[in-house]
């Protein structure tokens, strides 16, 4: 009796959590991603050997959750660090007050390294693009997958799409029942992340991060040196959805207005010595699904849009739960 074969499309934290749950249950799992390395929206960019987080800003972990055990393992191995339990709130004209909450965790080497750690021991193929996924149509039929550059389709017992809804919709064949559940592009908010490097640290040492309210340009600003723990004079600002929509075709065009907004908010006198932008077209769902994942016709969808609240923890939990659900529904050796 052979183990079921599962294709996971998307090597972000959700897809790899799903793949690990399936592998641990005895499935044969293959992970593909169109990018050059695992990471998804926990990716960043290296500048002079230093990683700058441009996607997720931090993560939390619910006490006694399955994800908390993963976080404790990362902490024990030095892959993650406690960052702060206090953020500032701000408006367009400056800092307003502080807000305490759960401990926010970060990574001293960049959040992508946590995703790469999850990929350890898995069959992950980078730079491979899926063209279309046709769900199973009967009890014995397999899920059909067409890959870019391939002349034929390949069959899998299950296929997991670990990605935002609009991207999953593009891959599903016409008539797929999942299309009735998944949101389109208008159900997601974009953001543009702008990294600003300064010659020296001019802002308050207790900034940590700031949620920005009532701003047409900003939504969040993080002290990346404080987040990483190396004190580098780097800020990462996430735009408002409004500003991102205006610059989706020209992310670099958002650098000047975001720089001006950050400088005004933090009363900075020096201009950054370097700046670059990264576009996230589907940064967060406008209305996350209440269900932890979707599984229909042996095609699953998981990610931070599932589970009622978009977050890194929700993405991992969604993928892990979907992997275990597929395992329960499948025939395994022995």
> Tens digits of per-residue pLDDT, 25-46?
999 999 999 999 999 999 999 9
* Whether pLDDT at 177 is above 90: yes
Give 197-244 as a 3 state SS string.
ECCCCCCCCCCCEEEECCCCCEEEEEEHHHHHCCCCCEEEEEECHHHH
pLDDT at 331: 60
**In angstroms, rounded to a whole number, what is the distance separating the alpha carbons of residues 44 and 250?**
19
pLDDT at 334: 35
* Whether pLDDT at 24 is above 80: yes
Identify which of 293, 32, 326, 264 has the alpha carbon closest to the alpha carbon of residue 181: 293
The answer to whether residues 188 and 285 touch, using CB atoms and an 8 Å cutoff, is yes
**Phi and psi dihedrals of 39, rounded to 5?**
160, -50
* Whether pLDDT at 230 is above 50: yes
The answer to whether residues 169 and 152 touch, using CB atoms and an 8 Å cutoff, is no
DSSP secondary structure string for all residues of 90-117: EETTEEEEEEEEEEEEE-TT-THHHHHH
Query: pTM of the prediction?
Result: 0.95
The answer to whether residues 115 and 39 touch, using CB atoms and an 8 Å cutoff, is yes
Helix axes of 312-329 and 13-25: crossing angle, nearest 10 degrees: 30
pLDDT at 119: 98
Q: What is the pLDDT of residues 182-192, one digit of tens each?
A: 999 999 999 99
The helix or strand, by DSSP H or E, that contains position 144, with its residue range, turns out to be strand 143-147
pLDDT at 150: 83
pLDDT at 2: 55
Measured in residues, the chain has a length of 334
Q: What is the mean pLDDT of the chain?
A: 95
| Region 57-110+185-286: CATH code | 3.90.660.10
- pLDDT grade for 92, boundaries at 50, 70 and 90: confident
Q: What is the pLDDT of residues 266-315, one digit of tens each?
A: 999 999 999 999 999 999 999 999 999 999 999 999 999 999 999 999 99
Identify which of 22, 25, 306 has the alpha carbon closest to the alpha carbon of residue 178: 306
The answer to whether residues 164 and 305 touch, using CB atoms and an 8 Å cutoff, is yes
Mean pLDDT in residue range 80-94 = 95
CATH superfamily of 1-43+112-183+289-334: FAD/NAD(P)-binding domain (3.50.50.60)
The answer to whether residues 319 and 118 touch, using CB atoms and an 8 Å cutoff, is no
**In angstroms, rounded to a whole number, what is the distance separating the alpha carbons of residues 327 and 4?**
9
**In angstroms, rounded to a whole number, what is the distance separating the alpha carbons of residues 223 and 188?**
26
Domain boundaries along the sequence of the chain: 1-43+112-183+289-334, 57-110+185-286
Count of beta carbons in the 10 Å neighbourhood of residue 263: 18
Q: What is the pLDDT of residues 146-156, one digit of tens each?
A: 999 888 899 99
| Degrees to nearest 5, angle at CA 111 with 105 and 115 | 115
The helix or strand, by DSSP H or E, that contains position 251, with its residue range, turns out to be none
**In angstroms, rounded to a whole number, what is the distance separating the alpha carbons of residues 301 and 12?**
13
**Phi and psi dihedrals of 112, rounded to 5?**
-55, -35
């Amino acid at each position: 009796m052979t183990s079921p074969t599962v294709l996971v499309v998307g090597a972000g934290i959700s897809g790899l959590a799903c793949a690990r749950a399936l592998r641990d249950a005895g499935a044969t799992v293959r992970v593909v991603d169109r990018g050059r390395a695992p990471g998804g929206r926990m990716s960043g960019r290296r500048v002079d050997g230093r990683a700058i987080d441009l996607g997720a800003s931090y993560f939390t972990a619910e006490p006694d959750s399955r994800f908390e055990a993963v976080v404790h393992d990362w902490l024990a191995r030095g892959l993650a660090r406690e960052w702060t339990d206090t953020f500032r709130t701000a408006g367009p004209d400056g800092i307003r007050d502080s807000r305490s909450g759960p401990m926010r965790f970060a990574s001293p080497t960049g959040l992508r390294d946590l995703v790469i750690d999850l990929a350890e021991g898995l069959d992950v193929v980078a730079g491979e693009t899926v063209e279309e996924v046709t769900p199973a149509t009967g009890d014995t039929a397999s899920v059909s997958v067409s890959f870019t550059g391939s002349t034929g389709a390949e069959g899998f017992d299950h296929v997991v799409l670990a990605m935002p809804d609009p991207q999953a919709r593009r891959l599903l064949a016409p008539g797929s029942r999942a299309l009735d559940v998944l949101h389109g592009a208008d159900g997601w908010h974009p953001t543009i992340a702008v990294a600003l490097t300064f010659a020296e640290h001019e802002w308050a040492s207790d900034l940590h991060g700031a949620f920005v309210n009532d701003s047409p340009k900003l939504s969040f600003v993080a002290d990346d040196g404080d987040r990483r723990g190396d004190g580098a004079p780097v800020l990462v600002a996430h735009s408002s959805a409004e500003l991102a929509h205006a610059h989706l075709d020209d992310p670099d065009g958002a650098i000047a207005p975001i720089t001006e907004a950050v400088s005004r908010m933090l009363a900075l006198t020096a201009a950054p010595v370097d700046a670059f932008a990264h576009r996230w077209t589907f940064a967060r769902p406008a209305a996350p699904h209440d269900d932890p994942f979707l599984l229909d016709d042996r095609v699953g969808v998981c990610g931070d849009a599932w589970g009622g609240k978009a977050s890194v923890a929700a993405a991992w939990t969604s993928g892990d739960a979907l992997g275990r659900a597929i395992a329960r529904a499948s025939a395994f050796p022995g």
